[in-house]
């Protein structure tokens, strides 16, 4: 059924075979879905773990280091640099931890057996579109257990809608290019 819907969305059979071959249900992903830190610890504990003094200092250094790029982004897209850097730090520790779960496998698991199956099914189809368009390989698409990818943890549908090739190198690389 998923393959039929994906073909209807324009995804090639070749991509479906390459991306979905060997994908299996991940009990670990389902377990993590029911133990999200935002729901299992207080805001004080969460902030203490995520917004450390060292991370704030690193954010200030990166804000200065990338000032010209961030000013260009602010001018072009209307997003304040401090918010971009804060999101970058919060979501992936400035690219140091972009996740260790295969995006396709995580999304397939959640689309099949998780809560909000329809949402994750749509995200899986969006991820397959990324592969089909050559914007990412299924083997490179790693992220969070919930399918969020890259340095700011975009869901695949948000990548399709909002990712930008800011350095004009022809690639929207949210994994390796700050």
Token pair for 163: 């990712």
Among left, alpha and beta (phi > 0; psi -120 to 50; other), residue 42 is beta
The confidence score (pLDDT) of residue 46 equals 78
For residue 56, with 0-12 CB atoms within 10 Å meaning exposed, 13-18 middle and 19 or more buried, which class applies? exposed
The confidence score (pLDDT) of residue 142 equals 94
User: Distance (Å, rounded) from C-alpha 43 to C-alpha 152?
Assistant: 21
Among 10, 14, 24, 30, CA closest to 137: 14
Full pLDDT tens readout for the chain, 178 residues: 888 889 999 999 999 999 998 899 999 999 998 876 666 678 888 778 788 889 999 999 999 999 999 999 999 999 999 999 999 999 999 999 999 999 999 999 999 987 889 999 999 999 999 999 999 999 889 999 999 999 999 999 999 999 999 889 999 999 988 8
User: Distance (Å, rounded) from C-alpha 149 to C-alpha 14?
Assistant: 23
The confidence score (pLDDT) of residue 115 equals 81
The confidence score (pLDDT) of residue 38 equals 60
List the end-to-end C-alpha distance of the chain, in Å, as a whole number: 37
3-class SS at 95? coil
């Amino acid at each position: 059924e998923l393959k039929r819907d994906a073909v209807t969305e324009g995804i090639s059979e070749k991509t479906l075979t390459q991306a979905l071959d060997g994908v299996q249900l991940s009990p670990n992903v389902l377990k993590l879905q029911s133990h999200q830190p935002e729901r299992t610890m207080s805001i004080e504990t969460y902030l203490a773990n995520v917004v450390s003094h060292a991370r704030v200092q690193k954010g200030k250094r990166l804000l200065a280091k990338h000032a010209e790029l961030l000013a260009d982004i602010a001018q072009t897209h209307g997003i304040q640099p401090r918010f971009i850097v804060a999101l970058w730090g919060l979501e992936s520790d400035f690219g140091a931890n972009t996740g260790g779960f295969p995006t396709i496998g995580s999304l397939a698991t959640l689309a099949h057996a998780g809560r909000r199956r329809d949402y994750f099914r749509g995200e899986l189809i969006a991820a397959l579109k990324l592969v089909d368009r050559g914007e990412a390989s299924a083997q490179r698409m790693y992220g969070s257990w919930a399918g969020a990818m890259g340095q700011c943890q975009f869901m695949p549908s948000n990548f399709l809608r909002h990712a930008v090739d800011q350095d004009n190198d022809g690639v929207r690389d949210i994994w390796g290019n700050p």
